[in-house]
Amino acid sequence: MARQRVCAEPGCPELQAAPRCPGHAREAEQVRGTRQQRGYTAAHDRLREKWRPRVEAGLVDCARCERRILPGETWALDHSDDRIGYLGPSHKRCNDSAGGRAAHQT
């Protein structure tokens, strides 16, 4: 059985396995915006598909850490920090870390 914890939203007493109760999780997703609002358009999907064969063959270095993306590793088509363009393929963890840092800058 999954460990139960209190919802991450201040003042919410709900216990569940996920970080937020279903109601607060839904609210957080609405604030986050749609996939398109976050920059994942059809053009993004086409560009990612264009990179896929080279990345999956292990021929591409991560745009963030500059280490090779190995076949089978999860990867993302990484936006530039200003989100206007793209850096290129990145390890998922490198992309997620950069997004987390950007979200916490003041």
Backbone angles phi, psi at 88, to 5 degrees: 125, -170
Residues 6+ apart with CB under 8 A from 14: 6, 7, 21, 23, 24
Confidence of residue 28 (pLDDT cuts 50, 70, 90): confident
Domain residue extents for the chain: 1-32, 42-103
Spatial contact of 39 and 45, defined as CB atoms under 8 Å apart: no
Mean pLDDT to the nearest integer, 79-87: 86
| Residues with Cβ within 8 Å of residue 13, at least 6 apart in sequence | 6, 7
What is the reported pLDDT for 31?
A: 78
